[in-house]
Amino acid sequence: MMASICISWINILVVNLNNELQMMGVNYGQVADNLPSNDAAVNLIKSLGAGWVKIYNSDAGTLTALAKTGLEVVIGMSNDEIPSLAASSAAADEWIVANVVAYVPATNITVILVGNELFADPTNSNIWPQLVPAIQNLQASLTSHGLSSIKLSTACEFNILTSSFPPSAGVFNSQIAVPVLKPLLEFLDKTSSYLYINIYPYFAWADDPSSIPLNYAVFASLAATLTEGQYSYTSLLEAQIDAVYYAMEALGYKNVRIALSESGWPTAGGTGANIRNAEAYNNNLVTYILSGKGTPKRPRVFIPTYIFALFNEDLKPGPATEQHWGLLYPNGSAVYPISLAGGSSPGDPSFPLPSPDGTGSNSDLPPGSPDACGDRESVLPLSATFLGMLFDLRI
Ligand SMILES: *[C@@H]1O[C@H](CO)[C@@H](O)[C@H](O)[C@H]1NC(C)=O
Ligand SMILES: *[C@@H]1O[C@H](CO)[C@@H](O)[C@H](O)[C@H]1NC(C)=O
């Protein structure tokens, strides 16, 4: 059982030699009053090893700093920009000229996300039907400027699924499924774009830490924690992604790809929100994504992923965790060791964790179970900093 898990991991690394660029992205949010300059931030993004950066707007200073950096850039916009773009193809063209044509090719804008978590707030429901028309107007403008290689989509919150467990029960909110998501998926399918979705196993786990093993949430499970039919899940994220694939299939779209516009783990402000768990989750996420392993339902389908977030953002409103998602402090120091290029991560997706701050459990790890993937100590980055965090900061 253990052995077969390890063998399949190795096979995947071998057969996944295709030509698709496989890198990690990071969300460069700037809801803060103490961040370094855009130029300094770009250097930090590069030193982390990210290949892609996502911003939430089309800020001139940021886009200029991202020019000629080799980074590919995803730009966004606020939900309230959607109605005018839907109403007028001239307005959509003006938007593309001001926010895209002005910066390419020096700044390599490759994706435009039209709105962010548009469906999370029911007071936006008047905007929902305008999403696809806005996207279509923007697409027509891109084409007219010879920029049709730039992909369009929107960043959805995971709660567009009203059911996600077990994965095959994945289904979209019926209020938006047929009127909004079906035409969106039709567009994404035709243009080979992606359904961008923000998925945080942290929130699912923190809602129910007594029934969801922490190791399953942070990719540190040695054994399948959930089995459904022919599919076995060793990580919660894979099960959540498959739930989205099932929901898309239920609407008739079997081939649309998924990209994770946000995923991450907070280091303070909530249950299990600490440096130890965040370090485990994000390093294991990088290893998992860059392996190209895909999910049980769509094996070896790469999932472009943008970690949330580059910096701790001190002005983010909302729950106490909101200001603590950063890989970096505002002064540029790493909150914990991580490389988005892979390599300095634990290397083995299944290194087990002791139980953190009394919550969660290792119940998926039989006591004394043999470590079939080899000496787990040898794959842990036991740097002085890492040990310092283990013993000083977490408990
Ligand atoms: C921009 O990104 C695309 C997509 O990966 C790539 O093909 C292209 O070479 C990049 N352009 C520049 C100028 O780096
Ligand atoms: C950066 O900020 C963090 C958090 O405030 C602090 O612990 C760390 O010592 C700072 N690093 C430097 C180099 O000033």
**What CATH number is given to the structural domain containing 80?**
3.20.20.80
Identify the H or E element spanning 92: helix 89-96
Per-position pLDDT tens, the chain of length 395: 343 333 333 333 333 445 678 999 999 999 999 999 999 999 999 999 999 999 999 999 999 999 999 999 999 999 999 999 999 999 999 999 999 999 999 999 999 999 999 999 999 999 999 999 999 999 999 999 999 999 999 999 999 999 999 999 999 999 999 999 999 999 999 999 999 999 999 999 999 999 999 999 999 998 999 999 999 999 999 999 999 999 999 999 999 999 999 999 999 999 999 999 999 999 999 999 999 999 999 999 999 999 999 999 999 999 999 999 999 999 999 999 999 998 654 444 434 454 454 343 333 333 333 332 322 222 222 222 222 222 222 22
Check pocket membership of 331 for ligand 2, CB cut-off 6 A: yes
What pLDDT, on the 0 to 100 scale, is given for residue 307? 98
Q: CA quadruple 218, 221, 225, 227: dihedral positive or negative?
A: positive
What pLDDT, on the 0 to 100 scale, is given for residue 343? 66
Check pocket membership of 149 for ligand 2, CB cut-off 6 A: no
Residue 145: both structure tokens together: 């400027």
What pLDDT, on the 0 to 100 scale, is given for residue 338? 96
Active site residue 262: yes
Kindly name the residue from 72, 262, 279, 313 that is annotated as catalytic. Answer: 262
d(CA 23, CA 7): 24
Domains identified in the chain, total number: 1
Residue 367: both structure tokens together: 């006591």
Nearest Cα to Cα of residue 319 among 165, 207, 209: 207
Residue 100: both structure tokens together: 């895209």
d(CA 283, CA 107): 28
Residue 59: both structure tokens together: 């800020």
Atom of ligand 2 nearest to the CA of 331: 1
Check pocket membership of 21 for ligand 1, CB cut-off 6 A: yes
Residue showing tokens 């707030």: 121
What pLDDT, on the 0 to 100 scale, is given for residue 279? 97
- Give the mutation target among 333, 385, 393 for probing the ligand 2 site: most ligand atoms within 8 A of CB: 333
Check pocket membership of 108 for ligand 1, CB cut-off 6 A: yes
d(CA 248, CA 301): 16
> Which residue range(s) make up the domain with 334?
2-393
Kindly name the residue from 72, 81, 117, 313 that is annotated as catalytic. Answer: 117
Active site residue 81: no
pTM of the model: 0.86
Check pocket membership of 72 for ligand 1, CB cut-off 6 A: yes
